[in-house]
C-alpha cells in the first residue's frame, strides 16, 4: 500500500441508505493522486459512458468530497469537492479550506462518494468508522451561521452521550449548504466555517439535489503514516519560513486586492467588466483593516499565512454583518463589479452571500450582468420584480441575492447562472445579451481580467481551461509553467496553493515523495500524469449535456467584453487580440494533444492509456468535422 | 525568560488565536511522533468560527485533578510545575476530568490513559510554534504564586466569552 493515504473511501447511497467502503489500487492512486485527479478517474469510470445523459441535479450524479496525500501535511488544509458540474456540465475540482479534509483523514477515509438522493433532508455524521445518516429537517432552510451553530451543538451532544468519559469533544469539522444549495441554485456553494466555500462548479446545488444538508466528521486517529517523517517536518518548516517572511501577504491576505487590482493592474471587474480600473481609496486595504477587521489573523489547519481576516460591521445600517476579509474575489465581485466601493457595504453583501450559501463570484457575476442589462434598459424594474438595480445600491443587490437563493420571481431565472440566464433573457427579449455575459463555458470568470496584460491570467487562460472561468485553474504555455497542469497537482494533492507562493517549485513534489514514498518528477507529472487528468476533464467538458454542450469552435473563446478596449485608467485602450488568442490557442491545442477542433487526439489519448475515452469522443469528432 | 530549572507557566492571550492549530501539530509530533490533533495535549476548539482558542492545562495552584486521582497516576513535576501522568497507573476513570474546573484533560484516543499538558519538560513546543509565527497567543513565563486556576474554564465558557467579546450581542445566536 502507498503511504500517506487512509486507504479507503466511504461510499454512501442516499437513496438506499447503504454505506460501504471502497478502496483503490495503488496504480490508480499513483496516477490520479487524490482530489481533482481522483475525482476525474471516479467520475469517468462510473459515469463516462453515459456522461451526456446525466443531469447533474438528478440522483445519478455523484458528489465527491476528496482529500489528497498532502492534505494536513502541506500547511493549509483543504478539501476537494467534485461531481458533474451543473455550471459547466463537465467536471470541476473545487476546493474549500478548513479542517474537514484533515478530520476525514483522521477518521480513516481519503474521501466520500455520495450517490442517489435522500427522501427527506439528511446530514451525514461520521465519527471514525461510525457513519450515520441523520435527519436534517430541523436545519433545512436555515442559513449558514444557524446551521453551523445547530449542528455543532448537536454533534458534540451525540459524542458526549456516546463517549461520556472521553472528556470534552472538540467540534467536528463540517461542510454544508445554505438555502441556495437546497433550492438547487446553480451558483450555490459547498461551504465551511461560515465564510469558506467550494464555489466553482456549483456543487452546493448537487448537494441540495441529494437533500444532503451537511457532512460533519470527527476523526480521532492520526493523519496517515508517511514514508519519511523527518523530511516532511523539514518541508513543513520550509513552507512556514517562507510564509513568515511574506509580511504583507500575511498582514493583508488578498485584502489589498480590492484596491490594487483596480488601481495598479487594471484587471478588476468594475460594473460588470465595463471597466477594469478604479482608484477608489475608499476601497483601500487600510479602510478594511481599520474599520471592519476584528481579527487580523485567521487560518485553517496548519496554515502559517493566515490570509483570512474576520470582518464585522459595528455601526450603521449594516451593523452585525460578519464575514471573512472579504477576500479579493468577494471584494471585487460584491464591490466594484456592482459599483460598490465601501468596506461596510462589501462586508454586508459578503456576509449575506455566506448566509444564503451562494457563491460570491458566480452570484456577483450574474448580478453584475443583470445590473448592466438594467443600465441599458434591456431589463426593467418590472422585469426585476420591482427592484431598481442601480450600480452601488447594496440593498437592491441584497434583495436580488435573496431572490436568487430562494428562486423567487426573477431569482428563479438568475439562479441558473449568467450563461443560462443570458440565453433565456436573449430569447425573451429577442436580443443578443450574451455579449454582456462575462463567463467561460457556464462559469463566470474570476476577478482577474486579461485586457491590461498586467495581471497573471493570459490571453487563453480562460479560453482553454477545463474549468472555464475558474481563476484558480487558468491555463497557458509553457505547460510546465503557466498551464493548469500545476494547479491540477495542488487540487489533487489537495492543499492550499497560497502557501506555495514563493516556495521553490520542487517543494510540493518533494512533499509528495516524502509522504507517499513514491518518486515523482516534475517531468513525469507534466508530461503524463497531469495530462491524463486534463484529458479526462476535457472529455467530460466536451461531452457535456444534457441541457448544454460546448463546441470548442464556438465556445473556446474569451467573453466578447474582453475584446472591448479598456475605457479608462493607465491601460486605457488596451484589449485582448483575437489573432493572438487564436495563435496561442492553436499552440496550446498542439501542446496538450488536441486536434484543430480542440478535441483530444486519438494518439494522445492512447499514449496515456485512455482508449475508452477515445472511443467516447468519436461522435463529437465526427460532428466537429461535419 | 525563565531559566530551565524553574517552574513555568504558559501565559495565554486567547482572543489572538488564529486557529492555525500549529500548536496541535507541534504537540502531537513531540508526544506521539505524528500529526494527531486528537492526541494533542493542547486542543484548539472552534465552537464558534472566528473564536478559536487553545484549551490546555492551566496548572491550578491547588491541582484538583491530582487530588482526585484514585490511583495516584497524577503527580506534580517539581521542576516545571506540570501535571505528569503515569500512564501505566491511569485507569481512564475520568475523575480528573470531573475535578478540573475547565474539564481540560481528555482520554487518549487509542490508549488507556488520560492526556494532560506536561509542559514538554520545560520547553513547550506549542509556545515555540506560536511565537515563531508571530501570533504570540502563548508565552512561557516563570511560575509565580498566582491564581492560574482562573484559566481552567470549560470550552463552552471560553467560547462564549470570546464570541461576545468579538461579535457583541449577536454572538448569542451562534452559541
Across the interface, which of B19, B34, B94 has its CB nearest the CB of A298?
B19
For the domain covering A246-444, report its CATH number. Answer: 1.10.569.10
B103 touches chain A (CB under 8 A): yes
Closest CA–CA distance from residue B175 to any residue of chain A (Å):
6
In angstroms, the CA B102 to CA B104 distance is: 5
Across the interface, which of B16, B106, B110 has its CB nearest the CB of A168?
B106
Assess contact for A312 and A306: CB atoms under 8 A. no
Cα angle, residue B146 at apex, residues B145 and B151 outer, rounded to 5°: 145
Closest CA–CA distance from residue B159 to any residue of chain A (Å):
12
In a domain, B34, yes or no: yes
A247 touches chain B (CB under 8 A): no
Q: Write down the mean pLDDT value for chain A.
A: 97
The mean pLDDT value for A345-357 works out to 98
Assess contact for B52 and B44: CB atoms under 8 A. yes
In angstroms, the CA A531 to CA B87 distance is: 52
In angstroms, the CA A308 to CA A325 distance is: 6
Task: Output the CA–CA distances (angstroms, integers) from residue B12 to A519, B22, B117, B150, in the order listed.
Answer: 43, 15, 14, 12
Structure letter (DSSP) for residue A468: T
Binning chain A into helix, strand and coil, the percentages to the nearest 5 are 40, 15, 45
CB contact under 8 A, A146 and B173: yes
pLDDT given for residue A84 in this prediction: 98
pLDDT given for residue B1 in this prediction: 63
* Helices H / strands E in chain B, number of each: 5, 8
Task: Provide the CA A594 distance to its chain's centre, in angstroms.
Answer: 25
Structure letter (DSSP) for residue A169: P
Note the pLDDT tens digit of each residue in B134-157.
999 999 999 998 999 999 999 999
CB contact residues (below 8 A), chain B span 20-49, against chain A:
20-22, 25, 28-29, 32-39, 43-49
Across the interface, which of B21, B29, B47 has its CB nearest the CB of A171?
B47
Residue A547: burial class (beta carbons within 10 Å; 0-12, 13-18, 19+)? middle
Take residue B69 and report the three cell numbers written for it.
486521582
Take residue B169 and report the three cell numbers written for it.
450581542
CB contact under 8 A, A222 and B28: yes
In a domain, B1, yes or no: no
Measuring CA to CA, which residue among A468, A465, A472, A466 is closest to residue A443?
A468
In angstroms, the CA A379 to CA A24 distance is: 52
CB contact under 8 A, A295 and B106: no
Range of the domain at B124: 8-174
In angstroms, the CA B141 to CA B121 distance is: 14
Indicate if the pLDDT at residue A601 is higher than 70: yes
A236: which chain B residues are within 8 Å (Cβ-Cβ)?
25
In percent, how much of chain A has pLDDT > 90? Answer: 99
Assess contact for A85 and A100: CB atoms under 8 A. no
pLDDT given for residue B5 in this prediction: 78
Task: Provide the CA A524 distance to its chain's centre, in angstroms.
Answer: 26
Assess contact for A260 and A139: CB atoms under 8 A. no
Task: Output the CA–CA distances (angstroms, integers) from residue A435 to A440, A553, A556, in the order listed.
Answer: 12, 17, 15
The mean pLDDT value for A596-602 works out to 98
Indicate if the pLDDT at residue A1 is higher than 90: no
How many residues would you count in chain B? 175
Test the B interface: residue of A153, A197, A222 with most B CBs within 10 Å: A222
B50 touches chain A (CB under 8 A): yes
Burial A167-198 (b: 16+ CB within 10 A, else e): bbbbbbbbbbbbbbbbbbbbbbbbbbbbbbbb
- Pairing label, strands A9-13, A111-115: parallel
Task: Output the CA–CA distances (angstroms, integers) from residue A129 to A6, A104, A124, A317, A508, in the order listed.
Answer: 12, 10, 12, 48, 30
Helix (H) or strand (E) holding B11: strand B8-12
B110: which chain A residues are within 8 Å (Cβ-Cβ)?
220-221
A229 touches chain B (CB under 8 A): yes
A278, HSE (Cβ side, Cα atoms, 13 Å): 24
A150 touches chain B (CB under 8 A): no
Cα angle, residue A117 at apex, residues A115 and A121 outer, rounded to 5°: 130
Task: Output the CA–CA distances (angstroms, integers) from residue A47 to A37, A61, A84, A183, in the order listed.
Answer: 15, 8, 9, 24
With CA atoms as reference, the chain B residue closest to A297 would be: B18
Q: Where are the beta strands (DSSP E) in A116-256?
A: 122-127, 130-135, 173-176, 190-192, 196-198, 212-218
Count of the separate structural domains present in chain B: 1
Take residue A282 and report the three cell numbers written for it.
475608499
Closest CA–CA distance from residue B153 to any residue of chain A (Å):
12
B68 touches chain A (CB under 8 A): no
Give the pLDDT band (50/70/90) at residue A626: confident
CB contact under 8 A, A165 and B93: yes
Assess contact for A439 and A365: CB atoms under 8 A. yes
Query: Any idea which residue has 498551464 for its cell?
Result: A483
Query: Any idea which residue has 423567487 for its cell?
Result: A408
SS3 category, B23: helix
B125: which chain A residues are within 8 Å (Cβ-Cβ)?
none
Size of interface A-B (CB pairs under 8 A): 123
CB contact under 8 A, B38 and A322: no
Residue A119: burial class (beta carbons within 10 Å; 0-12, 13-18, 19+)? exposed
CB contact under 8 A, A310 and B50: yes
In angstroms, the CA A415 to CA A443 distance is: 13
In a domain, B61, yes or no: yes
Across the interface, which of B49, B107, B154 has its CB nearest the CB of A166?
B107
In a domain, B126, yes or no: yes
Query: Any idea which residue has 450574474 for its cell?
Result: A366
Closest CA–CA distance from residue A194 to any residue of chain B (Å):
7
CB contact residues (below 8 A), chain B span 75-94, against chain A:
92-94
Q: Where are the beta strands (DSSP E) in A454-579?
A: none
Note the pLDDT tens digit of each residue in A291-308.
999 999 999 999 999 999
In angstroms, the CA A432 to CA A184 distance is: 27
CATH code at position B139: 3.30.70.20
Test the B interface: residue of A296, A299, A307, A311 with most B CBs within 10 Å: A299
Give the pLDDT band (50/70/90) at residue B64: very high
A301: which chain B residues are within 8 Å (Cβ-Cβ)?
20-21
In angstroms, the CA A154 to CA A519 distance is: 44
Structure letter (DSSP) for residue B63: -
Residue A325: burial class (beta carbons within 10 Å; 0-12, 13-18, 19+)? buried
In angstroms, the CA A225 to CA A208 distance is: 35
Indicate if the pLDDT at residue B2 is higher than 80: no
B46: which chain A residues are within 8 Å (Cβ-Cβ)?
99, 170-171, 193
In a domain, B68, yes or no: yes
In a domain, B3, yes or no: no
In angstroms, the CA A74 to CA A349 distance is: 32
A102: which chain B residues are within 8 Å (Cβ-Cβ)?
37
pLDDT-wise least confident of A555-559, A579-583, B145-149, B157-161: B145-149
CB contact under 8 A, A170 and B43: yes
Note the pLDDT tens digit of each residue in A468-502.
999 999 999 999 999 999 999 999 999 999 999 99
Query: Any idea which residue has 488565536 for its cell?
Result: B17
Structure letter (DSSP) for residue A77: B
* Helices H / strands E in chain A, number of each: 24, 17
Indicate if the pLDDT at residue A363 is higher than 70: yes
Across the interface, which of B22, B103, B105 has its CB nearest the CB of A302?
B22
Task: Output the CA–CA distances (angstroms, integers) from residue A108 to A21, A102, A111, A135, A602, in the order listed.
Answer: 11, 10, 9, 24, 39
pLDDT given for residue A575 in this prediction: 98
pLDDT given for residue B4 in this prediction: 64
Indicate if the pLDDT at residue B99 is higher than 70: yes
Measuring CA to CA, which residue among A153, A166, A158, A168 is closest to residue B101?
A168
A294 touches chain B (CB under 8 A): yes
Amino acid at each position: 500500500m502507498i503511504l500517506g493515504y487512509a486507504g479507503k473511501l466511504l461510499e454512501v447511497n442516499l437513496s438506499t441508505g447503504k454505506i460501504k467502503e471502497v478502496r483503490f489500487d495503488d496504480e490508480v492512486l499513483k496516477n490520479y493522486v487524490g482530489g481533482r485527479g481522483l475525482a476525474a478517474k471516479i467520475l469517468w469510470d462510473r459515469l463516462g459512458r453515459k456522461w451526456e445523459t446525466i443531469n447533474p441535479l438528478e440522483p445519478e450524479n455523484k458528489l465527491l468530497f476528496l482529500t489528497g496525500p498532502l492534505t494536513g501535511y502541506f500547511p493549509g488544509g483543504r478539501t476537494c469537492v467534485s461531481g458533474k458540474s451543473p455550471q459547466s456540465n463537465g467536471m470541476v475540482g473545487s476546493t474549500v479550506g478548513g479542517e474537514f479534509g484533515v478530520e476525514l483523514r483522521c477518521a480513516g477515509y481519503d474521501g466520500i462518494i455520495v450517490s442517489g438522493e435522500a427522501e427527506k433532508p439528511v446530514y451525514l455524521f461520521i465519527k471514525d468508522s461510525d457513519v450515520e445518516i441523520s435527519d436534517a429537517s430541523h436545519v433545512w432552510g436555515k442559513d449558514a451561521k444557524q446551521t453551523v451553530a445547530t449542528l455543532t451543538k448537536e454533534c458534540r451532544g451525540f459524542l458526549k452521550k456516546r463517549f461520556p468519559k472521553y472528556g470534552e469533544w472538540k467540534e467536528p469539522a463540517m461542510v454544508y449548504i445554505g438555502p441556495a444549495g437546497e433550492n438547487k441554485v446553480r451558483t450555490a456553494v459547498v461551504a465551511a466555517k461560515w465564510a469558506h466555500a467550494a464555489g466553482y462548479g456549483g456543487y452546493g446545488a448537487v448537494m441540495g439535489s441529494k437533500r444532503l444538508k451537511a457532512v460533519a466528521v470527527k476523526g480521532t486517529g492520526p493523519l496517515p503514516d508517511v514514508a519519511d517523517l523527518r523530511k516532511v517536518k523539514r518541508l513543513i518548516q520550509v513552507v512556514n519560513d517562507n510564509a513568515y517572511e511574506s509580511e504583507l501577504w500575511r498582514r493583508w491576505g488578498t485584502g489589498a486586492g480590492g484596491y490594487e487590482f483596480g488601481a495598479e493592474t487594471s484587471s478588476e471587474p468594475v460594473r460588470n467588466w465595463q471597466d477594469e480600473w478604479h482608484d477608489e481609496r475608499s476601497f483601500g486595504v487600510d479602510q478594511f483593516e481599520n474599520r471592519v477587521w476584528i481579527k487580523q489573523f485567521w487560518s485553517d489547519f496548519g496554515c502559517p499565512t493566515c490570509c483570512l481576516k474576520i470582518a464585522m460591521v459595528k455601526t450603521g445600517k449594516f451593523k452585525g454583518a460578519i464575514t471573512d476579509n472579504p477576500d479579493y474575489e468577494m471584494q471585487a465581485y460584491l464591490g466594484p463589479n456592482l459599483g460598490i466601493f465601501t468596506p461596510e457595504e462589501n462586508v454586508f453583501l459578503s456576509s449575506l452571500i455566506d448566509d444564503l450559501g451562494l457563491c460570491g463570484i458566480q452570484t456577483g457575476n450574474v448580478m453584475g450582468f443583470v445590473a448592466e442589462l438594467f443600465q441599458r434598459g434591456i431589463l426593467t424594474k418590472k422585469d426585476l420584480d420591482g427592484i431598481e438595480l442601480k450600480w452601488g445600491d447594496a440593498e437592491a443587490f441584497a434583495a436580488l441575492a435573496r431572490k436568487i437563493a430562494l428562486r423567487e420571481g426573477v431569482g428563479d431565472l438568475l439562479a441558473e447562472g449568467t450563461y443560462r440566464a443570458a440565453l433565456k433573457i436573449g430569447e425573451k427579449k429577442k436580443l443578443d445579451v450574451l455579449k454582456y455575459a462575462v463567463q467561460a463555458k457556464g462559469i463566470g470568470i474570476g476577478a482577474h481580467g486579461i485586457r491590461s496584460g498586467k495581471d497573471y491570467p493570459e490571453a487563453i487562460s480562460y479560453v482553454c481551461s477545463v474549468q472555464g472561468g475558474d481563476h484558480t485553474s487558468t491555463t497557458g504555455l509553457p505547460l510546465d509553467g503557466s498551464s493548469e497542469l500545476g494547479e491540477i497537482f495542488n487540487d489533487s494533492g489537495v492543499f492550499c496553493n497560497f502557501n506555495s507562493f514563493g516556495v521553490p517549485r520542487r517543494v510540493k513534489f518533494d512533499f509528495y515523495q516524502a509522504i507517499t514514498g513514491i518518486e515523482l518528477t516534475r517531468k513525469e507529472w507534466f508530461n503524463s500524469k497531469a495530462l491524463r487528468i486534463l484529458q479526462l476533464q476535457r472529455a467530460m467538458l466536451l461531452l457535456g449535456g444534457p441541457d448544454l454542450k460546448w463546441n470548442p469552435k464556438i465556445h473556446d473563446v474569451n467573453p466578447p467584453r474582453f475584446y472591448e478596449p479598456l475605457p479608462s485608467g493607465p491601460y486605457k485602450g488596451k484589449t485582448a487580440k483575437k489573432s493572438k488568442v487564436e495563435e496561442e490557442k492553436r499552440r496550446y491545442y498542439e501542446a496538450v494533444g488536441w486536434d484543430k477542433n480542440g478535441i483530444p487526439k486519438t494518439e494522445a489519448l492512447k499514449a496515456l492509456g485512455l482508449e475508452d475515452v477515445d472511443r467516447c469522443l468519436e461522435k463529437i469528432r465526427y460532428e466537429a468535422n461535419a | 525568560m525563565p531559566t530551565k530549572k524553574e517552574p513555568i507557566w504558559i501565559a495565554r492571550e486567547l482572543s489572538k488565536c488564529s486557529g492555525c492549530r500549529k500548536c496541535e501539530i507541534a504537540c502531537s509530533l513531540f508526544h506521539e511522533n505524528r500529526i494527531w490533533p486528537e492526541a494533542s495535549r493542547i486542543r484548539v476548539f472552534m465552537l464558534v468560527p472566528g473564536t478559536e482558542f487553545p484549551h490546555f492545562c492551566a496548572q491550578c495552584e491547588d491541582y484538583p485533578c491530582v487530588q482526585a486521582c484514585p490511583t495516584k497516576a497524577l503527580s506534580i513535576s517539581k521542576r516545571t510545575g506540570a501535571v505528569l501522568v503515569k500512564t501505566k497507573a491511569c485507569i481512564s476513570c475520568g475523575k480528573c476530568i470531573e475535578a478540573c474546573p475547565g474539564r481540560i484533560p481528555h482520554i487518549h484516543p487509542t490508549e488507556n490513559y488520560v492526556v494532560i499538558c506536561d509542559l514538554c519538560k520545560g520547553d513547550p513546543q506549542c509556545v515555540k510554534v506560536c511565537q515563531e509565527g508571530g501570533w504570540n497567543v502563548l508565552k512561557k513565563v516563570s511560575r509565580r504564586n498566582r491564581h492560574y486556576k482562573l484559566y481552567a474554564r470549560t470550552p463552552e465558557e471560553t467560547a462564549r466569552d470570546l464570541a461576545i467579546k468579538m461579535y457583541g450581542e449577536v454572538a448569542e445566536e451562534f452559541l
